[in-house]
Amino acid sequence: MTAGRAVAARAGQYLLVVWAAATLNFLLPHLAPGDPVQYLYGGDALGLAPEAMAQVRAGYGLDRSLPEQYLAFWAGLLRGDLGHSVQFNRPVLEVLGEYLPWTVVLVGLATAFAFVMGLVSGAWAAWHRGRRRDAGAVAAVLALDSMPGFWLGMILIAVFAVGLGWFPSYGAATIDAEGAVWLIEAAHRMVLPTATLALSTFGGFFLLTRAAMVSVLDEPFVRLARAKGVPDRRIALHHALRTALLPVYTNLTLVLGTLLSGAVVVETVFAYPGLGRLIFDAVTARDHPLLQGAFLLVTLGIVAANALADLTYPLLDPRVRRARAVAGAVS
């Protein structure tokens, strides 16, 4: 198979995944109990006549059959139109564009901190494998990794917001702040949500780095470097860690996608105005168009992260490049 055909086949696989995910995004909100119009207007409790309710439902396209709504969903998706939010009475793309940047910043910072902490501490533990400090580090990380995200966030709020009063416990910025004051206030309020999400993700990077480093340290080229008298620092950084970095990098690209969905709990605990909190509010309001748009955005993020890992991994691992070159020459 030539390189062009391989790329086309892989692109077709990703398109098939996007189609299946978008179809599930359309179906899942409709399978959930409740009516968004009933939630928004309260039905007969507010004295709204059935005829008026029918007109409102028709305005949002909820009076159509499920196949008709599915075709309308794809027609709008191909035009870049994700529909109208029932809860906000605004286009879904406009609402997502308002909430998404907050989540991108939160997930980006949390992933960076978790990656660096996990890489450094995991390599350190692997270098001291079999000793008490390694066992203590693994036990502490496993205990931290077993804590649910909402519980970890509540602990940080109790200690650093309520007890010490160092950080606010909710929101992203005060309404009256502007300019540099707004930026400082937003950074101040982002500390606890970022720490919660980073600590929730840190364990995976630590354990994966440690396992990869332990495996690499038993390789013949590491023993040869030690026999030649290469300093331990150079062996750890330039030989073992560089080789062990490949699976950790793959995990990093995957975490970037999954954290978009994992931020729901953290953003809800801290009342943080991001995509996760928006999904929670949309579920409560039975806002089908908004749920479909948000889920589709998360799905595209996960697919894009997988595609990024697939495209960049051969650049880091020469063995994959050589294997693909040999396969292309044979075909």
Asked whether residue 64 is domain-assigned, the answer is no
> What pLDDT score does 56 carry?
66
Asked whether residue 331 is domain-assigned, the answer is no
Relative orientation angle of helices 132-145 and 179-217, to the nearest 10 degrees: 130
Count up the domains in the chain and report the number.
Answer: 1
Q: Which amino acid is at 299?
A: T
> Residues 121, 108: contact at Cβ < 8 Å?
no
Asked whether residue 22 is domain-assigned, the answer is no
Asked whether residue 82 is domain-assigned, the answer is no
> Residues 260, 201: contact at Cβ < 8 Å?
no
Mean of the per-residue pLDDT values of the chain: 75
Q: Is the pLDDT of residue 47 over 60?
A: no
- What range defines the domain where residue 274 resides? 96-316
- Residues 54-73 have a mean pLDDT of 72
Task: Work out the pLDDT band at 212, boundaries 50, 70, 90.
Answer: confident
Asked whether residue 52 is domain-assigned, the answer is no
Task: Work out the pLDDT band at 45, boundaries 50, 70, 90.
Answer: very low
> What pLDDT score does 231 carry?
67
pLDDT digit string, tens, across residues 134-172: 888 888 888 888 887 778 888 888 888 888 888 877 766
Whole-angstrom Cα distance, residue 139 to residue 295? 35
Asked whether residue 89 is domain-assigned, the answer is no
DSSP result, 155-170: HHIIIIIIIS--S-SS
pLDDT digit string, tens, across residues 220-251: 766 666 666 666 666 666 666 667 777 777 77
Asked whether residue 105 is domain-assigned, the answer is yes
Whole-angstrom Cα distance, residue 320 to residue 316? 9
- 270 vs 3, 126, 167, 177, CA distance in Å? 47, 35, 12, 19
With CA atoms as reference, report the closest residue to 250 among 319, 311, 323.
311
Q: What CATH number should be reported for the domain holding residue 205?
A: 1.10.3720.10
Task: Work out the pLDDT band at 326, boundaries 50, 70, 90.
Answer: very low
